[in-house]
């Protein structure tokens, strides 16, 4: 109908006819199979078989626009004021995946241009590249550190002043706020190039103190969006009082670029072709586009994602976490309760699960709230086949069993994979331990062993009825152990007994009827069910 304008006015009559034919065709497919219908079509109307994938589900990430004939370059640009968190993983995964899919370049860029409000953390410069590599399974192609490139930003600032699209503004911040709101030109706006250059030198040489002057990009005070009106590009920081933590940088510079300027210039210098960022930076794109126009550059293709909240975690910021760790609320950046990559890694979350998780969420601009269960589900798929089964009995109750009990019992390590071998359980002292809750039943079946009747009497070896199957340990073949549950607020430790095993620290096991856990030095850390 879309191609036959002449028939459209008769749509009311045609629709039922089409519906009838469709019903017929469907019936035919039902009886003789879809192939039959396809072969009929091939003979009668082959053109109908073409170009009908419009409604098929798109797999993976949306296509990047404007990629033809280009070397694709993307970047992930965190502030190195702490290790990476769950939210950062989105930036790493999405940018990294796009770069990978296009055989392009992923730049890891440290936007470390603030020494006062969000001071960088020296360790982060080493930690973050490793975290990126862990998450992606390969390192970033290039690392750029903004604080190494201040002279380049200065050059561009100077060009901005000399070409007249930037100026030194000496208005107090509040005054400028008023100008911005009322669309008035700031008195500094019309200064001559010479005066601006002079002001610039006074910023650099220490004549001006922080707050005395900034460099602004001349846009237009009449712009509809107030955020874009003559925005600030560089300012002075007191780096004597708040030195940059990197050796060699320290108090070397007083004038520092703001994000919008630094990021814009750096993207151009690095040949970034596509930017994927949070939609909170939409106005940043617009500000930067105005700057690009001044410089005569083309702004990269940009796409945005919305905010993500995890129901179980709520809002965590790097600076908040840093404070909580420093005052002892958490044991460190790798505290399993924290939504850091280190915490997740410690909890046994696989990088592949994180990748699949973020790719599945995609890059929509909606603000979303996701349950951790989705991430866990991805993780389970990755670990179940390799996770040996182990029996862990919480709050154990000892039961003496009697009857014709064998000396040893063999139980598969993994029910789906015989190749993983057997666990051998010694039964020589006739004592088993089961969970308090299971002990309330008069009879039960010990998993992989036998029925137990009242009074601990050994019953049928083969399954004889529908009594519940419980997990258990032999007193002799088990040791005391602790199961640790990382809950939101506190950490709970449960004492119990675990069957003997030789798995090294770090092994992910499945505690039968409990969940997946990772073996640590002194305990089992429960990951998820």
Q: Provide the mask over 135-174, with x wherever binding to RNA is found by CB under 7 A and - wherever it is not.
A: ------------------------------------xxx-
Measured between alpha carbons, how far is 340 from 88 in angstroms, rounded to an integer? 9
Residue from 39, 201, 207, 225 binding RNA (CB under 7 A): 225
**Residues 389/382, Cβ–Cβ less than 8 Å:** no
Residue from 76, 179, 200, 256 binding RNA (CB under 7 A): 256
Q: Which of residues 449-488 bind RNA (CB under 7 A)?
A: 449-450, 461-463, 469-471
Q: Tally helices (H) and strands (E) across the chain.
A: 14, 26
Residue from 85, 90, 114, 509 binding RNA (CB under 7 A): 114
Q: Closest CB to RNA among 256 and 524? A: 256
Q: For residue 92, which of 53, 145, 6, 100 has the smallest C-alpha distance? A: 100
- To the nearest whole angstrom, how small is the minimum distance from the Cβ of residue 120 to RNA? 9
Q: For residue 389, which of 350, 432, 419, 423 has the smallest C-alpha distance? A: 423
Q: Which of residues 32-61 bind RNA (CB under 7 A)?
A: 54-55, 57-58
Measured between alpha carbons, how far is 410 from 414 in angstroms, rounded to an integer? 12
DSSP per-residue letters across 484-507: EEE-SS-EEEEEEEEE---PPTT-
246 near RNA, judged by CB under 7 A: no
Count of residues that interact with RNA, criterion CB under 7 A: 93
Q: Closest CB to RNA among 139 and 306? A: 306
- To the nearest whole angstrom, how small is the minimum distance from the Cβ of residue 22 to RNA? 3
303 near RNA, judged by CB under 7 A: no
Coil, strand or helix: which one is 49? Answer: helix
Residue from 255, 259, 498, 518 binding RNA (CB under 7 A): 259
- To the nearest whole angstrom, how small is the minimum distance from the Cβ of residue 28 to RNA? 10
Q: Which of residues 386-445 bind RNA (CB under 7 A)?
A: 389, 415-416, 445
- To the nearest whole angstrom, how small is the minimum distance from the Cβ of residue 328 to RNA? 25
Residue from 106, 168, 354, 361 binding RNA (CB under 7 A): 361
Per CB under 7 A, the segment of 231-239, 336-344, 396-404, 419-427 that binds RNA is 231-239
Residues with Cβ within 8 Å of residue 195, at least 6 apart in sequence? 168
Per CB under 7 A, the segment of 84-92, 152-160, 288-296, 446-454 that binds RNA is 446-454
Q: What DSSP element (H or E) covers 74?
A: strand 73-76
Measured between alpha carbons, how far is 237 from 234 in angstroms, rounded to an integer? 10
CA distances from residue 13 to 5, 16, 25, 48 in whole angstroms, order as listed: 15, 6, 19, 22
In this structure, are strands 142-145 and 105-110 parallel, antiparallel, or unpaired? parallel
Measured between alpha carbons, how far is 505 from 520 in angstroms, rounded to an integer? 5
């Amino acid at each position: 109908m879309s191609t036959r304008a002449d028939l459209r006015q008769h749509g009311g009559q045609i629709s039922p006819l089409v519906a009838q034919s469709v019903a017929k065709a469907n019936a035919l497919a039902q009886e003789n199979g879809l192939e039959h219908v396809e072969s009929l079509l091939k003979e009668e109307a082959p053109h109908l078989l073409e170009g009908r994938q419009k409604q098929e589900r798109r797999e993976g990430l949306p296509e990047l626009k404007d990629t033809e004939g280009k070397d694709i370059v993307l970047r992930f640009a965190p502030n190195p004021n702490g290790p990476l968190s769950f939210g950062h993983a989105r930036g790493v995964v999405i940018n990294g995946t796009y770069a990978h899919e296009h055989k392009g370049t992923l730049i890891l860029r440290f936007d470390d241009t603030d020494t006062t409000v969000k001071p960088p953390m020296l360790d982060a410069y080493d930690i973050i590249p490793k975290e990126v590599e862990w998450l992606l399974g390969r390192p970033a192609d290039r690392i750029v550190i903004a604080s190494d490139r201040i002279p380049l930003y200065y050059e561009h600032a100077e060009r901005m002043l000399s070409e007249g699209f930037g100026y030194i503004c000496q208005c107090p911040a509040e005054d400028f706020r008023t100008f911005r709101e009322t669309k008035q030109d700031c008195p500094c706006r019309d200064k001559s190039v010479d005066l601006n250059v002079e002001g610039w030198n006074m910023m650099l040489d220490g004549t001006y103190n922080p707050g005395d002057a900034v460099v602004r990009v001349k846009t237009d005070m009449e712009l509809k969006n107030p955020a874009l009106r003559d925005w600030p590009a560089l300012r002075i920081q007191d780096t004597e009082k708040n030195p940059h933590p990197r050796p060699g940088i320290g108090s070397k510079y007083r004038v520092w670029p703001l994000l919008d300027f630094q990021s814009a210039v750096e993207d151009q210098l690095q040949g970034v072709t596509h930017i994927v960022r949070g939609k909170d930076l939409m106005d940043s794109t617009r500000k930067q586009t105005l700057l690009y126009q001044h410089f005569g550059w083309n702004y990269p293709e940009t796409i945005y994602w919305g905010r993500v909240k995890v129901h179980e975690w709520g809002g965590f910021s790097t600076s908040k976490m840093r404070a909580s760790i420093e005052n002892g609320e958490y044991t460190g950046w790798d505290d399993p309760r924290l939504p850091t990559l280190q915490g997740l890694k410690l909890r046994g979350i696989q990088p592949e699960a994180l990748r699949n998780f973020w790719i599945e969420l995609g890059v929509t601009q909606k603000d979303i709230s996701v349950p951790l269960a989705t991430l866990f589900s991805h993780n389970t798929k990755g670990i179940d086949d390799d996770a040996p089964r182990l029996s862990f009995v919480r709050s154990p109750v000892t039961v003496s069993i009697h009857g014709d009990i064998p000396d040893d019992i063999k139980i598969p390590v993994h029910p789906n994979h015989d190749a993983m071998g057997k666990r051998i359980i010694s039964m020589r002292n006739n004592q088993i331990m089961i969970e308090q809750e299971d002990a309330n039943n008069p009879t039960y079946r010990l998993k992989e062993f036998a029925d137990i009747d009242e009074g601990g009497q050994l019953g049928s070896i083969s399954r004889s009825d529908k009594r519940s199957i419980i997990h258990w340990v032999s007193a002799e073949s088990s040791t005391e152990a602790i199961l640790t549950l990382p809950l939101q607020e506190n950490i709970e430790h449960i004492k119990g007994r675990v069957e003997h095993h030789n798995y090294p620290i770090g092994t992910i096991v499945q505690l039968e009827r409990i969940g997946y856990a990772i073996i640590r030095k002194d305990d089992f850390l429960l990951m998820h069910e």
